[in-house]
């Protein structure tokens, strides 16, 4: 199908100079967008470019700090409810269905038709049925959501949005969890809806999808709009270039020269939810990076490898000093010398209301105690030494971890494991939400760790960081390693191409 924007009338939704800050940090910076009836408009950008925030502003979920959103000539002011009434429907990224209610009830959640307080089930089913018919999906209306596949849930979610008879339908990464056949179906459905005059805003990481169905594409980078062009006039390469397009890597350190030796961590045939037959090796002194888009399954891969989540099959071993141990559970991984810095440090990494010393003590408690009794003085000197080593500022170990900034909190998490001289260090998004200074320090720590012979496995969505640190980058998509790039050949473009499924570079 050749994309052609039908712009005989004015735009159905237009946003002017939207600025959205969280605290003092700018998430969306002076972005404008307009979408016409019948148009499918793509919004693309790297992880954290501000796409989702912009969509939430359009749907009234977030209130913008400045700028305006106008729907069909009416200025939006009153939040999510009013947006829905004016005809803007957002299909959320996270599934917002109630598992034990039926398909029909979920489609009309909170707005079921009633007579005298009693739900009018036949009318409810009629509305739900017509919404499902409109998107061309047939599901048993009385089935409970908990019994549906993930893909079907996604379609029910879309049906809910469609049932509100929107003029503008916003979809945030709807294909992330779908199979190719389901994706095909969804894309055709969107074209059909657009054909009937609905305006569709489509967020995706997947460039081929954009080129298949969209008319225009808005490219965001670091919260700013880089460009808006007609898809017919651009190329996939051009879009990826603009998404990545950093001028110079001036804030970056240089890559170190690695001298990897023996294989320490070896994973074979790992399968788990969102992980599809992954093989992986990390050598002593080597930093292996996992690149890919959010939702590609990188976190799931590392968690399955170290046993933090159950795996269906596969074998993981850690070899230190010629002794090989099988990793069957998280605790056995820790015993074998793994240190793990999880993605959600505030939820998984730190006990925020406990002190720095207590947090550092947690994984080291056995070494810092005698017969189960804590050696207070030993803990104090140990924690103090580590706090200074990681550059915690201020290095006050009796302060609660929650009182530190993001960067400092991450240093505490690193300090927890550093004292164990881990044989394997697994870091998931180690510098997310960390300021530039702390980031450089954390990079230094990771490099030092590798230089001392630790096998490092790192997940990062920050491309420059991944390139700077990694000796080898495995790019993950759909739970699989799609390709591996050595340090010499690694460029942002090469990683992004593999990650988004657009084979631009022969890798």
Partner 1 sequence: MAKESLTEQIALTEVVAQEAPKKTSGVGLWLTQNGVFLFLVVLAVFAAFFVNGFGSLDNVTNILNRAVPLGIVAVGMTFVVISGNYLDLSVVAQVATSGVIFLAVGSEYGLGVAALAATGAAILYGLVNGLAVGLFKANAVIVTLATTYIGLGLLRYFSGGSIFFGPPDGPMDVFGSGKVGPVPYSAFVFLGLTLVLSLVLTRTNFGFLVKSFGVNERATRLGGVNTDMVIVGAFLVTALAAMIAGFVFAAFSNTAVSTMAQGFDFKALGAIIIGGTSVFGGRGSVLRTLLGVIFVSVLDNVLTLLGFTFGFQQLALGVLILLAVTLDVLSRKLGQQ
Partner 2 sequence: MTQTMELGNLQKPGLGPKLKAFVRRRTEGRAVILLAVISLVVVFYEPLVFTAYPVTLGRIALIGLVALGLTAVILMGELDLSVASTLAASGVIVAVIPDLRIAIPVALLTGIAVGIVNAFFVAIVGIASFIATLGMLFGLSGLAFVLSGEVPVNLQNQDAGILFSQPVLGPLTPRILLFLLVFIALQLFVTRMKAGREFFAVGGNRQAAYDSGIPVKRRIFTGFIISGFVSALAGVIYTLTLTTASPDAGSNVLLSSFAAAIIGGNYLKGGKGSIVGTLLGATALGMLQTTFLMSGIQVPVQNTLIGAILLLAVITDPTSLRALIEKLRSALSKRAKVAPS
Q: Which residues bind to partner 1, rule: CB under 8 A? A: 21-25, 27, 47-48, 50-53, 56, 93-95, 172-173, 176-177, 294-295, 308, 330-331, 334-335, 340, 342-344, 346-354, 358, 361-363, 365-366, 369, 372-374, 376, 394, 399, 403-408, 416, 429, 432-435
Which candidate, 49, 478, 41, places its Cα nearest to that of 276? 478
Q: Which residue, 406 or 501, has its beta carbon nearer to partner 1? A: 406
182 binds partner 2 (CB under 8 A): yes
Asked whether the CA dihedral 87, 91, 95, 99 is positive or negative, the reply is positive
Which of partner 1, partner 2, none sits in contact with 505, Cβ below 5 to 8 A by type? none
155 binds partner 2 (CB under 8 A): yes
Which of partner 1, partner 2, none sits in contact with 317, Cβ below 5 to 8 A by type? partner 2
DSSP H/E element including 32:
strand 25-35
Residue from 19, 26, 70, 152 in contact with partner 2 (CB under 8 A):
152
Question: In the bound complex, what is the minimum distance in angstroms from residue 21's beta carbon to partner 1?
Answer: 8
Residue from 4, 17, 78, 140 in contact with partner 2 (CB under 8 A):
140
Question: In the bound complex, what is the minimum distance in angstroms from residue 459's beta carbon to partner 1?
Answer: 12
Assess contact for 223 and 26: CB atoms under 8 A.
Answer: yes
Question: In the bound complex, what is the minimum distance in angstroms from residue 37's beta carbon to partner 2?
Answer: 19
Which candidate, 140, 45, 47, 160, places its Cα nearest to that of 95? 160
CA distance 449 to 459: 16
For 322-399, where are the alpha helices, taking DSSP H only?
330-335, 356-364, 376-389
Which candidate, 218, 213, 217, places its Cα nearest to that of 195? 213
Question: In the bound complex, what is the minimum distance in angstroms from residue 404's beta carbon to partner 2?
Answer: 26
Q: Which residue, 148 or 467, has its beta carbon nearer to partner 2? A: 148
Residue from 73, 81, 248, 370 in contact with partner 2 (CB under 8 A):
81
Strand partners, 272: 275
177 binds partner 2 (CB under 8 A): no
Which of partner 2, partner 1, none sits in contact with 179, Cβ below 5 to 8 A by type? none
Q: Which residue, 44 or 104, has its beta carbon nearer to partner 2? A: 104
196 binds partner 2 (CB under 8 A): no
Residue from 54, 137, 379, 485 in contact with partner 2 (CB under 8 A):
137
Backbone angles phi, psi at 476, to 5 degrees: -110, 135
Of residues 326-365, those binding partner 2 (CB under 8 A): 326, 328-329, 332
Q: Which residue, 326 or 362, has its beta carbon nearer to partner 1? A: 362
Of residues 287-326, those binding partner 2 (CB under 8 A): 307, 310, 317, 319, 323-326
Q: Which residue, 28 or 137, has its beta carbon nearer to partner 2? A: 137
Residue that has been written with the tokens 């398909």 in this structure = 103
Which of partner 2, partner 1, none sits in contact with 407, Cβ below 5 to 8 A by type? partner 1
97 binds partner 2 (CB under 8 A): yes
Strand partners, 485: 473
Would you call the peptide bond into 246 cis, given omega within 30 degrees of 0 as the criterion?
no
Residue that has been written with the tokens 């019994």 in this structure = 147
CA distance 286 to 104: 53
DSSP track, 101-131: SBHHHHHTTT---EETTEE-HHHHHHHHHHH
Which of partner 1, partner 2, none sits in contact with 350, Cβ below 5 to 8 A by type? partner 1
Which of partner 2, partner 1, none sits in contact with 149, Cβ below 5 to 8 A by type? partner 2
CA distance 396 to 141: 59
Using DSSP, state whether 349 is helix, strand or coil. helix
CA 69 centroid distance within chain: 27
DSSP code at position 40? E
Question: In the bound complex, what is the minimum distance in angstroms from residue 352's beta carbon to partner 1?
Answer: 7
Q: At what angle do helices 356-364 and 376-389 cross, to 10 degrees?
A: 100
Assess contact for 148 and 139: CB atoms under 8 A.
Answer: yes
Q: Which residue, 190 or 368, has its beta carbon nearer to partner 2? A: 190
Asked whether the CA dihedral 499, 505, 506, 507 is positive or negative, the reply is negative
139 binds partner 2 (CB under 8 A): yes
Question: In the bound complex, what is the minimum distance in angstroms from residue 27's beta carbon to partner 1?
Answer: 6
Return all residues near 313 (Cβ < 8 A) that are at least 6 apart: 269, 270, 271
Catalog residues that contact partner 2 under the rule CB under 8 A. 80-81, 92, 96-101, 105, 109-112, 114, 117-119, 121, 133, 136-140, 142-144, 147-149, 151-152, 155, 182, 185, 188, 191-192, 195, 307, 310, 317, 319, 323-326, 328-329, 332
């Amino acid at each position: 199908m050749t994309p052609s924007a039908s712009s005989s009338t004015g735009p159905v939704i237009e946003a002017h100079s939207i600025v959205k800050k969280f605290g003092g940090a700018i998430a969306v910076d002076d972005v404008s967008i307009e979408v016409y009836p019948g148009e499918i408009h793509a919004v693309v950008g790297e992880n954290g470019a501000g796409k989702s925030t912009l969509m939430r502003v359009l749907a009234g979920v977030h209130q913008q700090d400045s700028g305006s959103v106008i729907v069909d000539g009416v200025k939006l002011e009153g939040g999510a409810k009013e947006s829905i009434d004016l005809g803007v429907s957002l299909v959320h990224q996270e599934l917002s269905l109630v598992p034990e209610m039926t398909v029909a009830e979920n489609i009309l959640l909170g707005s079921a038709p009633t007579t005298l307080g009693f739900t009018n089930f036949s009318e409810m089913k009629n509305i739900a049925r017509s919404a499902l018919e409109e998107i061309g999906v047939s599901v048993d209306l009385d089935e409970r959501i908990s019994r549906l596949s993930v893909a079907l849930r996604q379609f029910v979610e879309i049906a809910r949005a469609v049932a509100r008879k929107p003029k503008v339908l916003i979809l945030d990464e709807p294909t992330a969890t779908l199979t190719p056949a389901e994706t095909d179906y969804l894309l055709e459905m969107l074209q059909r809806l657009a054909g009937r005059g609905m305006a569709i805003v489509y967020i995706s990481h997947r460039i081929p999808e954009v080129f298949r169905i969209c008319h225009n594409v808005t490219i965001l980078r670091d919260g700013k709009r880089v460009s808006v062009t007609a898809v017919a006039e651009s190329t996939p390469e051009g879009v990826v270039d603009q998404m990545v397009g950093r001028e110079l890597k001036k804030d970056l350190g240089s890559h170190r020269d690695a001298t990897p030796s023996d294989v320490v961590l070896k994973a074979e045939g790992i399968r788990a939810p969102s992980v599809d037959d992954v093989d992986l090796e990390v050598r002593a002194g080597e930093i292996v990076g996992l690149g890919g888009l959010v939702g590609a399954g990188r976190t799931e891969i590392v968690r399955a490898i170290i046993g933090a989540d159950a795996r269906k099959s596969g074998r993981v071993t850690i070899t230190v000093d010629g002794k090989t141990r099988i990793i069957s559970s998280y605790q056995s991984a820790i015993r074998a010398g793994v240190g793990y810095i999880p993605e959600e440090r505030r939820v998984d990494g730190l006990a925020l209301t406990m002190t720095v010393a207590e947090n550092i003590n947690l994984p080291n408690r056995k070494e810092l105690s005698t017969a189960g009794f804590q050696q207070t003085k030993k803990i104090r000197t140990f924690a103090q030494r580590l706090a200074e080593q990681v550059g915690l500022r201020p290095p006050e170990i009796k302060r609660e971890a929650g009182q530190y900034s993001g960067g400092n909190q991450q240093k505490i998490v690193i300090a927890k494991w550093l004292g164990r001289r881990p044989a394997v260090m697994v870091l998931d998004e180690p510098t997310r939400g960390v300021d530039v200074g702390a980031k450089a320090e954390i990079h230094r720590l990771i490099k030092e760790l590798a230089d001392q012979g630790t096998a490092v496995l790192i997940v990062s969505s920050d491309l420059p960081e991944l390139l700077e640190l990694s000796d080898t980058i495995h790019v993950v998509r759909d739970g699989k390693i799609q390709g591996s790039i050595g340090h010499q050949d690694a460029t942002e473009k090469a990683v992004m191409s593999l990650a988004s499924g657009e084979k631009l570079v022969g890798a």
